[in-house]
Structures are given as structure tokens and as C-alpha cells.
Amino acid sequence: MFVQSLKMAWESIRSNKMRSFLTMLGIIIGVLALVVLVSIVNGATSSITSEISSMGSNMLTVTVSDDKGNPLRLDDLEEFAQEDEISAVSPTVQTTVTAKSAYNSENAVVYGVTPAYEDIAGLVVDQGRFLKTPDIDNHSYSAIVNMDVVTDILSLSSASKAIGEQVSLNGKSYQIIGVLEEEESSSSGMFAGSSYEVYIPYTSLIRLADTVSYVNSFAVSGTGDDLDAAENAMGKMLLKRFDDDEEAFSIVNISSIMDVMDSVTGTLSLLLGGIAAISLLVGGIGIMNIMLVSVTERTREIGIRKAIGAGRKVIMMQFLIEALVLSLMGSAIGVVLSWGIIKVISLISGDINAYSMSASIVVVAVCFSLAIGVLFGIYPANKAAKKKPIDALRYDS
């Protein structure tokens, strides 16, 4: 009986191709909107989370805006690191310089750091090494660069070839001792705004940049996964140093930023999903309307079937299956189009893996569209099933 009802539903849809397509259009657009919008949000969320994670998930960033005539020096940071709640501290003073080689010249961001920054920020060195204590003590002219510096400024094809090469920073020659992994290149810096990043000893940065005399920003890692204790300890020490003035400094907890981002993107996904769900509801109304028309057109058919013994459940199932088939076909077309649009968006963004179609979102979209088909198909099916055979046979369209 089910198979026969399915065949009849298919014949009805096929005999009115244009009307059936227009009926499915609402479902197609609804599924398309739901899958594409949520996939874009998920892709953007993944990208942003990756950017923030690359800064170090167990890290505090501290910025001093008013030192009260008592500026921080490198020795002060070493004292901060002695606290039980704090694992390591590194300055992150930055300046913009002109980076030159024999081939090219570009503006680059230079960070004055210490060896501890490698672990604090979670940097990964692809070739060579990161800074060591002797580099700080000897004010060495050593530099760690990202791959953009290697390819664009030094015009080299691989990181290994850059080791030992010289790069000029504001006219001073620095030897490259390390190159960061390529995926670190665009986001490894705490305040990354340039694609060209160079890390040098903090003691060398003081000589390189006339405007840098003291530590006005630094990074802190906690001893455990919970950064709240480290943040509280750091806050107490800074308040004591800067006359209990909370406006003299700011502390940013990276893990807190991650939590806020998760909350914001989660809310955004629900909002966009809700908007797309409205499109599906509109598509469901279209299915109900066309099914009511179909019931009216096939009144005599309903009367004949009832006269020869078809029960109410059989008639109701016939029209309900037809509504479900319309909904299922519309959702299938919507999923296929969604996949194509997401691929196009990924190509336009320049990263083929930036956006992907989540299987869970597809399942939700299809199940929701089927539920819409059932919801808006019940009334026309029930109306058809309630018709009396004698009234249906007498009906004249």
C-alpha cells in the first residue's frame, strides 16, 4: 500500500512539473539558506578561533598605559615570574621598521621578546631555533622571521635557505637564526597587523628603536590551565606598583576571549538558523497551498477510490506522502546547491578548506524540511480523507 501511494504521488508530481518545482522552491531556498549561512558562520568561527589559539591559549597580555614614573624593566618581569601562579613572562614590545634585503624592501613589525615567549605564545619554529638567554644577555643581532619575510623580502623558496641570511632592519643588519612554521606566519604575533613579522631580543630592540626605552607590554603564562589565578596575581602586583590605579594598565585573558567568541558565534548561528527556518516555514505554506489545490482537483478521484473501498487512512496517506516527497526532493536539491555555493565561497576566499558543509547541519536541514512537509501536509490530507464518497462523486470542477 505504501509503495502504491508512493508511485501515485510521484505520478502526480511528474504530471505537473512546473507547479511541483515552484512548490519545492520555498523548501529549496530554506534549506539553501540554512546550510550555507550556518556553514559560513562555522567556517568563520573556526578561522577566528584558530587565530586566537595561535596567540596562545594559556596566555595573558598586559599593556601599561601609565607607568606613574616607575616604568617596568626586564628585571621586573623576571621578578613577576617568581610568583607561584605565574609560569613565565616575556616582553612583547613592538615597533614598525623597514626590512630590506638585496632584493626587496617592505615594512615589517618587529617584536622585542625573550626566550620564554616561544612557549607562552605557542610558536613553532620550522627551521633553526628561537632566541636563547645568551642572545638577550649579549644584545645579539639575531632574528626569527615568518615565511612571508622569507618569500617576499629575501626572495627565497624555502625556510632552510633563510638560516644564516642577513636582513636589514632600519639599516641594522640582523642574522636570521630561525623561521616560523608557515601556518604561524599570518597570526603568530600578538597584535598581528602586518604579514611580515620579525622577533629579536628585547635588549636589541631598545637599540633598534629610539622610541622604546621600557617595557610597556608583556605576555604572561599561568602555571595551570586556569588563568584566573595568574590574572589575579598579576593584577595585585601591578596595582601595588602603580599606586592602586586600575586605569594604569590592562590585562587581557586569551581564554576569556575564546569563551566570548564561542558565545557570540553560537548566538549568531542560532540567529541565522532561525532566519533560514522562517524560509522553510514559508516553503511549507507553499506545499500546503498546492496540496489543497491538488485535493480540489482530484475530488472525483477521491470519491471513486472511496466508493471501491479505500479507507480514510489510505486517502490520507496518499496525500501526506505526496507532500513528503515534495519536501524531500526540495531539500535534496537545496543540499546539492548548498554544496556548490560553499565550494564557490571557499574558492573566492582563497582557502579551499575555509568553509565546509557540516553533516550535522545537513541532517538538521533535511529533518526540519521533512517535518515542515508533514506539518503542512496533514491538513490537506485530512481534508481529502474526510470527503464523503457521494459528495466527491457529485463534485463538478
Decide which of 195, 220, 244 is a domain's last residue.
Answer: 244
122 φψ region: left (φ > 0), alpha (ψ -120 to 50), beta (else) = left
Whether residue 27 sits in one domain with residue 102? no
Whether residue 115 sits in one domain with residue 47? no
Look at residue 191 in the predicted model and tell me its pLDDT.
42
Closest CA to 100 of 140, 145, 161, 158: 145
Place of cell 562555522: 42
In a domain, 293, yes or no: yes
φ and ψ at residue 158, rounded to 5 degrees: -145, 160
Whether residue 96 sits in one domain with residue 32? no
Whether residue 167 sits in one domain with residue 73? yes
φ and ψ at residue 149, rounded to 5 degrees: -65, -40
Whether residue 364 sits in one domain with residue 321? yes
Whether residue 165 sits in one domain with residue 195? yes
Do residues 152 and 117 lie in contact, with contact meaning Cβ atoms separated by under 8 Å?
A: no
Whether residue 178 sits in one domain with residue 308? no
In a domain, 97, yes or no: yes
Instruction: Note down the domain range covering 311.
Output: 2-51+259-394
In a domain, 59, yes or no: no
- Residues 163 and 161: their CA atoms lie apart, in Å, by 6
In a domain, 61, yes or no: no
- Residues 297 and 291: their CA atoms lie apart, in Å, by 10
Whether residue 76 sits in one domain with residue 8? no
Whether residue 186 sits in one domain with residue 149? yes
Decide which of 244, 267, 285 is a domain's last residue.
Answer: 244
Q: What is the 3-state secondary structure (H, E, C) of 100-149?
A: ECCCCEEEEEEEEECCCHHHHHCCCEEEECCCCHHHHHCCCCEEEECHHH
Whether residue 334 sits in one domain with residue 233? no
In a domain, 60, yes or no: no
Burial of 180 (0-12, 13-18, 19+ CB in 10 A): buried
In a domain, 251, yes or no: no
DSSP calls for 302-353:
HHHHHHTT--HHHHHHHHHHHHHHHHHHHHHHHHHHHHHHHHHHHHHHT-TT
In a domain, 209, yes or no: yes
Place of cell 621578546: 113
The C-alpha cell at 350 is 582563497
Residue 175's SS3 state is: strand
Closest CA to 256 of 44, 118, 59: 59
Cβ contacts of 205-208, under 8 Å, gap ≥ 24 = 205/93, 205/95, 205/110, 205/111, 205/112, 206/112, 207/139, 207/172, 208/95, 208/97, 208/110, 208/169, 208/170, 208/172
DSSP assignment, residue 195?
S
In a domain, 254, yes or no: no
pLDDT in tens for each of the 397 residues of the chain? 567 667 766 777 777 778 788 888 888 888 888 888 888 877 777 766 666 555 555 788 899 998 888 889 899 998 998 888 898 999 998 899 999 998 889 999 999 999 999 988 888 899 999 999 999 999 999 999 999 999 999 999 889 999 999 999 998 999 999 999 876 444 444 444 458 999 999 999 988 887 777 889 999 988 876 678 888 999 999 999 998 898 899 998 876 767 777 777 778 777 877 777 787 788 788 878 877 777 777 676 767 766 776 667 777 777 788 888 888 888 899 899 999 988 888 888 766 556 777 788 888 888 888 888 888 878 777 777 776 766 656 655 5
Look at residue 188 in the predicted model and tell me its pLDDT.
44
Whether residue 267 sits in one domain with residue 233? no
Whether residue 276 sits in one domain with residue 204? no
Decide which of 188, 218, 244 is a domain's last residue.
Answer: 244
The C-alpha cell at 63 is 599593556
Residue 1's SS3 state is: coil
Look at residue 110 in the predicted model and tell me its pLDDT.
93
Number of folded domains that form the chain? 2
